[in-house]
Structure 1
Amino acid sequence: MKVLNVLLMLFFVNVLAQKTTPEIETVKINDKIYVLKGIGGNVGIFVGSEEVFMIDDKFANVTPQILAAVKKITTKPVSYLINTHWHGDHTGGNENMHKQGAVIISHENVRLRMNSENTVRGKVKPPAPKGALPVITFEKDMMFHLDGEDILAYHVHNAHTDGDAHIFFTNSNVIHMGDTYFQGKFPYIDLDSGGSIDGYIESANKVIRLADDDTVIIPGHMNVSNKKELIEFRDILVDLRDKISHEIEVGKGLEDVKNDTSLTKDYEKQYNWNFINAEKIRITIYNSLLNN
């Protein structure tokens, strides 16, 4: 009986571990560039001849799974880590990656926000540990030249936050947009961190101008995308912004816009999701326009 109880206990522990261990899906873009999907933001991986260049690192508890996924691709170490913005689902593994020897890079506002107390969705976030902070920052843009790939990191103003960066692999024609793009879903625009609807739309416009029909676009969340899908995403945001701007012009208040489902009804079936639904995007756009 004791042996049976032990076996049952081990069985349930194993089942629980399987349910709670974050799963990582690896998507191959080309022989050098990969995307690691799963809980948290999409991680970009560039494999050079001597090292790995990583974009974002999800949450701290996912680091072992990320490193395991990288090891299935290459034995090269992660030497560089660039953050597309400061949120914890993209920077939570920074301290772990710093201990692995990675040099952390970001826009200067990412370091400023990580090094101070911030409020996100009504919750106060304390400063990040020292080891999690970027050690190299840039104001406008930065170039990396790794193993025949020219990688441009450039700042986009007041989009998802005030510290967003796009990462453009110019030779491979691949762009990682971070959370300035939620593929196929309503986006989260963090107004408390300097985000805005106008900046978000302009961020999409920048990539649309850079991209061609063959460009691979990596969003911060959801699936690998392309220029056609990004244009559709941009056009929906422009339509919603213009509709809500009109409501403000005719004297409608926040409660009016919050409750007016007609403003978003054409997009709710596809673009609603558990994090940002139609009501939340109406409220966000209204507050963004009112405070601009």
Structure 2
Amino acid sequence: MLKRLALLASVGAAFAVVVYASADKAADESKQLPVPEMKFNDVKEIAPGVFFRYSSIAANDPKIPFGGSNHTWVVFKDYVVVIDANFPKEAADVIADIKKTTKKPIKYVLDTHHHGDHAYGNTIWAKEGAQIVAHKNAARLLKANGPKQWEDAAKDRKDIKDNELKQVDISFDDKFELKDETQHVVFMHFGHSHTSGDASAYLPKHKILCTGDACVNGAFNYMGHSNSASWIKCLEAMGKLEIDLICPGHGKVARKDLLAKETRYFTELRAAVKKGIDDKKSVEEITKGLDFPWYKEWTGVGVAETDMNKDSVKHVYNELMGKIDHDRLGAAPSPLDWRTAPTGVAAK
């Protein structure tokens, strides 16, 4: 009888632990910021004084207008901080939306990297009185290669043709911090990921990470200027932060597990390409053999269906074959609409 009572007591205790653990998990989840449901060009306040704008995009579908990068802006006591500059035309659209949410002046704009859909709008933000902030490598690439790339881009976009390239005002190495009694934003460089000059914006008070293209939600990973091995390490470093929401450079707002999806994509892609190289297969053969069912479930497209993914295979292949000079990446421009015209730079 005593043994039976002891057994029942132990079972009851174990059940209580599970119940309490489930309750604690539910309580923790209830404290998290909700993931907003959004349509293209919607603006929503995702945390007190923090707004997100979802720019139009569709993987490998030129029929859907490319709205450039997503945007997050943070309303401080006396000013506004904006993440990403976009193209000139879209920058003006975003400024109009910001003015619907606050009358405070826009003081800082972060270029998360040097690509046109994240930095060419600098000129428009500067006219609003904002200072442009970027990692030193992004500033270097925009200064060294920007003028020629801007000139080339002006052939395809009137908003670029009608404006002038604006360089970075403030560059930083590892961190650039902004804080008052209302908000706290830290611009952080984790290393060479999507580009050598990637920067993310972390809001520790709200547990929000704005990643630029270092983390995207969908089949939007342009790898032409990336270091895929380093990119994985950067994502792992981001994962050490306390995060409720990720505001990606492209795609919808997501939970922290988006970092794991991105990491899995690059890890499995590198492994598949490495195996193909070991088996003496060509890039084309490796690409045709790719099959990541989970990737299609996440993005809606097969891993080998888009031009951008095909180019990613070639990029990783060149990396593993020692044909990529990562220090030179960014010397050639990324395509203005990389969904249908991927490119990259390989060392000769």
**1:64 and 2:92 correspond:** yes
Q: Which residue is equivalent to 1:91?
A: 119
The 5-angstrom pairing of residues 1-292 of structure 1 reads 24-38=41-55, 39-117=67-145, 132-191=166-225, 195-212=226-243, 215-258=244-287, 260-264=288-292, 267-268=295-296, 270-271=298-299, 272=301, 277-291=308-322
Q: Which residue is equivalent to 1:16?
A: none
Structure 1 counterpart SS, 2:259: helix
Rg (Cα) greater in structure: 2
How far apart are 1:264 and its partner, in Å?
4.3
Assess if the C-alpha contact under 8 Å between 2:77 and 2:182 holds in 1: no
Q: In the aligned structure 1, how far is the partner of 2:235 from the partner of 2:91? A: 30
In structure 1, the gaps of 5 or more residues are: 1-22
Q: Which residue is equivalent to 1:11?
A: none
Assess if the C-alpha contact under 8 Å between 1:156 and 1:163 holds in 2: no
Assess if the C-alpha contact under 8 Å between 2:107 and 2:130 holds in 1: yes
Amino acid corresponding to residue 260 of structure 2 in structure 1: I
Q: In the aligned structure 1, how far is the partner of 2:181 from the partner of 2:111? A: 21
Q: In the aligned structure 1, how far is the partner of 2:208 from the partner of 2:168? A: 24
* Closer/same/farther in 2, CA of residues 232 and 135 from structure 1, 3 Å limit: same
Q: In the aligned structure 1, how far is the partner of 2:321 from the partner of 2:44? A: 40
- Which region of structure 1 is more displaced relative to structure 2, 45-54 or 230-239? 230-239
Assess if the C-alpha contact under 8 Å between 2:89 and 2:121 holds in 1: yes
Q: In the aligned structure 2, how far is the partner of 1:275 from the partner of 1:89? A: 20
Q: In the aligned structure 2, how far is the partner of 1:285 from the partner of 1:45? A: 34
- Which region of structure 1 is more displaced relative to structure 2, 46-55 or 131-140? 131-140
How far apart are 1:143 and its partner, in Å?
1.4
Q: In the aligned structure 1, how far is the partner of 2:283 from the partner of 2:188? A: 34
Structure 1 counterpart SS, 2:199: strand
Kindly provide the CA deviation profile for residues 121-142 of structure 1, in whole angstroms up to 9, marking residues without a partner as x: 9x9669x987611111011222
* Closer/same/farther in 2, CA of residues 171 and 276 from structure 1, 3 Å limit: farther
Question: TM-score of the superposition, structure 1-length normalised?
Answer: 0.80
Assess if the C-alpha contact under 8 Å between 2:223 and 2:315 holds in 1: yes
Q: In the aligned structure 2, how far is the partner of 1:278 from the partner of 1:131? A: 30
Assess if the C-alpha contact under 8 Å between 1:41 and 1:90 holds in 2: yes
* Closer/same/farther in 2, CA of residues 54 and 217 from structure 1, 3 Å limit: same
* Closer/same/farther in 2, CA of residues 43 and 61 from structure 1, 3 Å limit: same
- Which region of structure 1 is more displaced relative to structure 2, 112-121 or 72-81? 112-121
Q: In the aligned structure 1, how far is the partner of 2:147 from the partner of 2:311? A: 17
How far apart are 1:163 and its partner, in Å?
0.2
Alignment RMSD (CA, Å):
2.8
How far apart are 1:114 and its partner, in Å?
1.2
Q: In the aligned structure 2, how far is the partner of 1:120 from the partner of 1:268? A: 37
Question: TM-score of the superposition, structure 2-length normalised?
Answer: 0.68
Assess if the C-alpha contact under 8 Å between 1:24 and 1:69 holds in 2: no
Amino acid corresponding to residue 216 of structure 2 in structure 1: F
Assess if the C-alpha contact under 8 Å between 1:154 and 1:165 holds in 2: yes
Structure 1 counterpart SS, 2:108: strand
- Which region of structure 1 is more displaced relative to structure 2, 131-140 or 272-281? 272-281
Amino acid corresponding to residue 267 of structure 1 in structure 2: Y
* Closer/same/farther in 2, CA of residues 139 and 125 from structure 1, 3 Å limit: farther
Q: Which residue is equivalent to 1:17?
A: none
Assess if the C-alpha contact under 8 Å between 1:117 and 1:125 holds in 2: no
Q: In the aligned structure 2, how far is the partner of 1:165 from the partner of 1:120? A: 23
Identity %: 23
In structure 2, the gaps of 5 or more residues are: 1-39, 56-66, 155-159, 325-348
Q: In the aligned structure 2, how far is the partner of 1:189 from the partner of 1:222? A: 16
Of Structure 1 and Structure 2, the greater strand share is in 1
* Closer/same/farther in 2, CA of residues 89 and 186 from structure 1, 3 Å limit: closer
Assess if the C-alpha contact under 8 Å between 2:92 and 2:124 holds in 1: no
Aligned length, in residue pairs: 262
Q: In the aligned structure 2, how far is the partner of 1:136 from the partner of 1:262? A: 43
